[in-house]
Amino acid sequence: MATIAFIGLGHMGGPMAINLVKAGHNVHAFDLVDELVKGVVAEGAQAASSAADAVSDADFVISMLPAGKHVEALYVTGDAPLFDRVKPGALIIDSSTIDAATAQRVAKVGAERGINFIDAPVSGGVGGAKEGTLAFMVGASDAQFAQAKPVLECMGKNIFHAGDHGAGQIAKACNNLLLGVLMTGTCEALNLGVKNGLDPAVLSEIMKQSSGNNWALQVYNPFPGVMEGVPSSNGYQGGFMVDLMYKDLGLAMELSQQSASPVPMGSGARALFSLHKAKGNGALDFSSVLKLYQDQ
Ligand code: NAD
C-alpha cells in the first residue's frame, strides 16, 4: 500500500482522504484548519504539521483546494513550494476544480523539473466523495494515468482519461456548463407549466418520458415535493452550492474566451446563477435557481 499525502480536507477532500485510509493506504493529511485534520486522523490518517511535512515521504500527493491560485501557490509560487519538497518519482494528483490554463502551466513547470503533476477534477459532489463513487476526469500522459488509476479507484467509480494535461479540467468545465444549462432549462419549463396550471409532478413525469428528459428530471428534480431525498425537498440544503456552480460556469467562460468558442447558453445560465447568488442564495443547492423564476 502507498504512502499518500492529502492536502485540503474540506467538504470533498475529507471524505476522499478517509476512503484512501479505508482502502489500506498510509495517509498523511494536512489542511490549514486543524479541526479538519483531526476529523481525518480520527478515521486513521496521520496528521502532518505542514504541507511540506505531508509530502516528504509520499509516493502520491493529492490536493483538493478551492481554486487555481491556491494550487499554483502550493506547488510553485508560494513560500514553501511543494515542487521543492516532493520525493523523486512521486505522482501529484490535483483534484481541485481549477482553470485549465493553471493546470497546464503547473504541469509544465513540473515536467521541466522531472516532477509528475496531473489534473483529476471530480464530479459527484459530497455524496459521491463519501460513498467513493466519484467520477474522475484525468488530464495526464498514458503512463501517469496508469499510475494514478488504482489510487483514484479507491475514491471513485468511473475514472476517465480525458487527454493530456489540462484535459481533465476542460472536461469538467464542459460537463458543468451543460449541467448549468440543463438545470436552468428544467426550472424554466417546470415554472412555465406550473404557472399555467399543471402539477409539477405530472409535468416532470411527462417530460421525463418525452424528449425533454434529462439528468435533473431523472435524479435531481428542482421542484419541492416532486422527488424525495433531493435538496429541493430539503429546503435546498446540502448538494452542490450555487457559489460552486457560478465558479464552474466562470471557468467555462474563460475557456470560451481563450478558444473563441461561443457559449451563449452557458453564459445565460451563468447570468441566472449570478442574479440568484446576488440575492443571497450562494450557499443553497444550485437547483434552488427555480426560486428566481418563481419570484418573478
Ligand atoms: P472546501 O472549501 O470545503 O475545502 C477546501 C479546503 O482547502 C479547505 O478546508 C481549506 O482550508 C483548504 N486549503 C486551502 N488552501 C490550503 C493550503 N494551502 N493548504 C492546505 N489546505 C488548504 O471546498 P470543497 O467543497 O471541498 O471543494 C474543493 C474543490 O473541489 C473545489 O475546487 C471545488 O470546486 C471542487 N468540487 C467541489 C464539489 C462539492 O460539491 N463541494 C464537487 C465537485 C468539485
Report the CATH number at residue 17. Answer: 3.40.50.720
What average pLDDT does range 97-123 have in this prediction? 97
Rounded-to-integer distance, Cα 245 and Cα 123, Å:
12
Rounded-to-integer distance, Cα 191 and Cα 203, Å:
10
The reply to whether 153 and 213 lie within a common domain is no
Q: Residue 172 catalytic?
A: yes
User: Measuring from each residue's beta carbon to the nearest atom of ligand 1, which residues come in under 6 Å?
Assistant: 7-13, 30-33, 36, 51, 64-66, 70, 74, 96-97, 122, 125-126, 240, 244
* Final residue before a domain boundary, out of 124, 145, 164: 164
What are the tens digits of pLDDT across the range 205-217?
999 999 999 999 9
* Final residue before a domain boundary, out of 164, 188, 204: 164
Q: And the C-alpha cell for 245?
A: 456552480
pLDDT at 112: 97
Ligand 1 centroid to Cα of residue 28, in Å, is 17
Answer for the pair 63, 12: CB distance below 8 angstroms, yes or no: no
Answer for the pair 1, 25: CB distance below 8 angstroms, yes or no: yes
Number of domains in the chain: 2
Whether the predicted pLDDT of 296 surpasses 80: no
Range of the domain at 281: 170-293
* Final residue before a domain boundary, out of 164, 188, 212: 164
What are the tens digits of pLDDT across the range 256-273?
999 999 999 999 999 999
pLDDT at 176: 97
